[in-house]
Amino acid sequence: MGSEGADGRARLSGNTLKHFRRGRYLAEGNKAYYTSSAIARRCFLVRDLGIREATTLFWSLASNSGESITKDEYTELMTYVAQVLVGGALSDADIAAAIEMDWQKDLKRSEKSGHRNELSVADLHLSLYELADVWVDGINGAKYAAFLLSLLYCVASKTRRGNWVFKEFSEVRRSVGQSDCI
Protein backbone atom coordinates (compact mmCIF):
# COMPACT_ATOMS: atom_id res chain seq x y z
CA MET A 1 0.00 0.00 0.00
CA GLY A 2 2.76 2.40 0.85
CA SER A 3 6.40 2.77 1.64
CA GLU A 4 8.66 4.65 3.95
CA GLY A 5 10.41 7.84 2.86
CA ALA A 6 14.03 8.76 3.64
CA ASP A 7 12.79 10.68 6.69
CA GLY A 8 11.08 7.55 8.10
CA ARG A 9 7.57 8.85 7.46
CA ALA A 10 5.04 6.57 5.79
CA ARG A 11 4.23 7.31 2.17
CA LEU A 12 1.28 6.10 0.13
CA SER A 13 2.05 5.04 -3.39
CA GLY A 14 0.25 6.58 -6.33
CA ASN A 15 -1.35 3.20 -7.00
CA THR A 16 -2.79 3.12 -3.47
CA LEU A 17 -4.54 6.43 -4.01
CA LYS A 18 -5.75 5.40 -7.46
CA HIS A 19 -7.16 2.16 -6.09
CA PHE A 20 -8.84 4.01 -3.21
CA ARG A 21 -10.40 6.56 -5.51
CA ARG A 22 -11.74 3.75 -7.69
CA GLY A 23 -13.42 2.22 -4.65
CA ARG A 24 -11.14 -0.78 -4.24
CA TYR A 25 -10.42 -0.02 -0.59
CA LEU A 26 -14.07 0.20 0.36
CA ALA A 27 -13.95 -3.59 0.75
CA GLU A 28 -12.05 -5.08 3.68
CA GLY A 29 -8.79 -5.61 1.80
CA ASN A 30 -6.13 -8.29 2.05
CA LYS A 31 -7.52 -11.61 3.31
CA ALA A 32 -4.07 -12.54 4.63
CA TYR A 33 -4.66 -9.99 7.42
CA TYR A 34 -7.67 -11.96 8.66
CA THR A 35 -6.07 -15.29 9.47
CA SER A 36 -6.03 -16.35 13.13
CA SER A 37 -2.33 -15.59 13.37
CA ALA A 38 -2.65 -12.19 11.70
CA ILE A 39 -5.59 -11.19 13.88
CA ALA A 40 -3.63 -12.17 16.99
CA ARG A 41 -0.65 -10.07 15.81
CA ARG A 42 -2.94 -7.12 15.05
CA CYS A 43 -4.59 -7.37 18.48
CA PHE A 44 -1.16 -7.39 20.11
CA LEU A 45 -0.21 -4.20 18.22
CA VAL A 46 -2.86 -2.21 20.11
CA ARG A 47 -0.35 -2.10 22.99
CA ASP A 48 2.59 -0.99 20.82
CA LEU A 49 4.50 1.86 22.50
CA GLY A 50 5.21 3.71 19.25
CA ILE A 51 1.53 3.81 18.39
CA ARG A 52 0.73 4.94 21.94
CA GLU A 53 3.29 7.74 21.67
CA ALA A 54 1.69 8.89 18.41
CA THR A 55 -1.70 8.83 20.15
CA THR A 56 -0.32 11.04 22.91
CA LEU A 57 0.76 13.63 20.34
CA PHE A 58 -2.66 13.57 18.65
CA TRP A 59 -4.26 13.87 22.10
CA SER A 60 -2.22 16.99 22.86
CA LEU A 61 -3.37 18.45 19.53
CA ALA A 62 -7.06 17.59 19.77
CA SER A 63 -8.05 17.71 23.45
CA ASN A 64 -8.48 21.23 24.78
CA SER A 65 -9.15 20.06 28.33
CA GLY A 66 -6.64 17.23 28.47
CA GLU A 67 -9.35 15.17 30.16
CA SER A 68 -11.43 14.06 27.19
CA ILE A 69 -12.24 14.73 23.56
CA THR A 70 -15.61 16.21 22.74
CA LYS A 71 -17.50 15.56 19.54
CA ASP A 72 -16.42 18.96 18.17
CA GLU A 73 -12.75 18.22 18.91
CA TYR A 74 -13.02 14.75 17.39
CA THR A 75 -14.77 16.11 14.32
CA GLU A 76 -12.10 18.76 13.80
CA LEU A 77 -9.27 16.23 14.12
CA MET A 78 -10.88 13.65 11.87
CA THR A 79 -11.85 16.27 9.27
CA TYR A 80 -8.18 17.21 8.96
CA VAL A 81 -7.13 13.55 8.84
CA ALA A 82 -9.76 12.73 6.22
CA GLN A 83 -8.67 15.67 4.12
CA VAL A 84 -5.18 14.17 3.95
CA LEU A 85 -6.32 10.61 3.30
CA VAL A 86 -9.32 11.05 1.01
CA GLY A 87 -9.45 14.74 0.14
CA GLY A 88 -10.63 15.11 -3.41
CA ALA A 89 -11.83 11.49 -3.54
CA LEU A 90 -14.85 12.07 -1.29
CA SER A 91 -17.10 15.09 -0.96
CA ASP A 92 -17.09 17.15 2.22
CA ALA A 93 -20.59 15.80 2.94
CA ASP A 94 -19.39 12.19 2.57
CA ILE A 95 -16.43 12.90 4.84
CA ALA A 96 -18.71 14.48 7.45
CA ALA A 97 -21.08 11.48 7.30
CA ALA A 98 -18.18 9.02 7.72
CA ILE A 99 -16.83 11.00 10.68
CA GLU A 100 -20.28 11.00 12.29
CA MET A 101 -20.54 7.22 11.87
CA ASP A 102 -17.06 6.75 13.36
CA TRP A 103 -17.90 9.09 16.26
CA GLN A 104 -21.03 7.07 17.04
CA LYS A 105 -19.07 3.79 16.87
CA ASP A 106 -16.26 5.16 19.05
CA LEU A 107 -18.73 6.70 21.50
CA LYS A 108 -20.65 3.44 21.80
CA ARG A 109 -17.41 1.63 22.61
CA SER A 110 -16.56 4.42 25.06
CA GLU A 111 -19.92 4.18 26.82
CA LYS A 112 -19.10 0.58 27.60
CA SER A 113 -16.09 1.85 29.52
CA GLY A 114 -18.10 4.46 31.43
CA HIS A 115 -17.59 7.63 29.39
CA ARG A 116 -20.54 9.64 28.15
CA ASN A 117 -20.55 12.01 25.14
CA GLU A 118 -16.77 12.24 25.11
CA LEU A 119 -13.79 10.07 24.39
CA SER A 120 -10.84 9.24 26.61
CA VAL A 121 -7.24 8.98 25.48
CA ALA A 122 -7.71 5.19 25.38
CA ASP A 123 -10.70 5.66 23.06
CA LEU A 124 -8.71 7.94 20.76
CA HIS A 125 -5.90 5.40 20.77
CA LEU A 126 -8.25 2.67 19.55
CA SER A 127 -9.63 4.98 16.88
CA LEU A 128 -6.16 5.91 15.60
CA TYR A 129 -5.00 2.30 15.80
CA GLU A 130 -7.95 1.23 13.64
CA LEU A 131 -7.14 3.98 11.16
CA ALA A 132 -3.54 2.79 10.86
CA ASP A 133 -4.69 -0.82 10.67
CA VAL A 134 -6.78 0.02 7.61
CA TRP A 135 -4.25 2.23 5.82
CA VAL A 136 -0.91 0.54 6.49
CA ASP A 137 0.15 -2.42 4.40
CA GLY A 138 1.50 -5.03 6.77
CA ILE A 139 1.15 -5.77 10.44
CA ASN A 140 3.95 -3.79 12.00
CA GLY A 141 3.84 -1.39 14.94
CA ALA A 142 6.68 0.77 13.65
CA LYS A 143 4.88 1.23 10.33
CA TYR A 144 1.60 2.04 12.09
CA ALA A 145 3.36 4.62 14.27
CA ALA A 146 5.21 6.12 11.28
CA PHE A 147 1.92 6.40 9.40
CA LEU A 148 0.25 8.18 12.32
CA LEU A 149 3.20 10.54 12.77
CA SER A 150 3.11 11.33 9.05
CA LEU A 151 -0.57 12.19 9.40
CA LEU A 152 0.22 14.40 12.38
CA TYR A 153 2.88 16.30 10.44
CA CYS A 154 0.42 16.78 7.58
CA VAL A 155 -2.29 18.33 9.75
CA ALA A 156 -0.36 20.08 12.52
CA SER A 157 2.83 21.86 13.39
CA LYS A 158 4.72 22.30 16.61
CA THR A 159 5.01 25.75 18.13
CA ARG A 160 8.21 27.14 19.62
CA ARG A 161 6.80 26.25 23.04
CA GLY A 162 6.45 22.62 21.95
CA ASN A 163 2.66 22.56 21.60
CA TRP A 164 0.94 21.00 18.60
CA VAL A 165 -1.52 23.20 16.71
CA PHE A 166 -3.62 22.55 13.64
CA LYS A 167 -2.33 24.00 10.39
CA GLU A 168 -4.65 26.27 8.44
CA PHE A 169 -7.20 24.01 6.76
CA SER A 170 -6.51 25.61 3.38
CA GLU A 171 -2.81 24.70 3.77
CA VAL A 172 -3.73 21.08 4.47
CA ARG A 173 -6.01 21.00 1.44
CA ARG A 174 -3.24 22.39 -0.78
CA SER A 175 -0.74 19.81 0.49
CA VAL A 176 -2.85 16.77 -0.42
CA GLY A 177 -0.97 14.68 -2.95
CA GLN A 178 2.36 16.44 -2.41
CA SER A 179 5.33 14.23 -1.64
CA ASP A 180 5.84 15.64 1.85
CA CYS A 181 2.36 14.69 3.00
CA ILE A 182 1.58 10.97 3.08
User: Domain map of the chain by residue range?
Assistant: 2-175
- pLDDT tens digits, residue range 82-101? 999 988 888 999 999 999 99
Q: What is the predicted pLDDT for the residue at 117?
A: 87
**Residue 57's pLDDT band (boundaries 50, 70, 90)?**
very high
Q: Is the pLDDT of residue 80 over 80?
A: yes
- pLDDT tens digits, residue range 102-142? 999 999 888 766 667 899 999 999 999 999 999 999 999 99
**129 near 36, Cβ under 8 Å?**
no
- pLDDT tens digits, residue range 32-55? 777 888 888 888 899 999 999 999
The C-alpha angle 98, 104, 106, rounded to 5 degrees, equals 100
Q: What is the predicted pLDDT for the residue at 113?
A: 65
Q: Is the pLDDT of residue 9 over 60?
A: no
Compute the half-sphere exposure of residue 141: CA atoms within 13 Å on the CB side of its CA: 14
Compute the half-sphere exposure of residue 49: CA atoms within 13 Å on the CB side of its CA: 0
Q: What is the predicted pLDDT for the residue at 27?
A: 43
* Length of the chain, in residues: 182
User: Quick one: 152 exposed, middle or buried, by C-beta within 10 A (0-12, 13-18, 19+)?
Assistant: buried
Q: How far is CA 158 from CA 131, 161, 164, in A?
A: 22, 8, 4
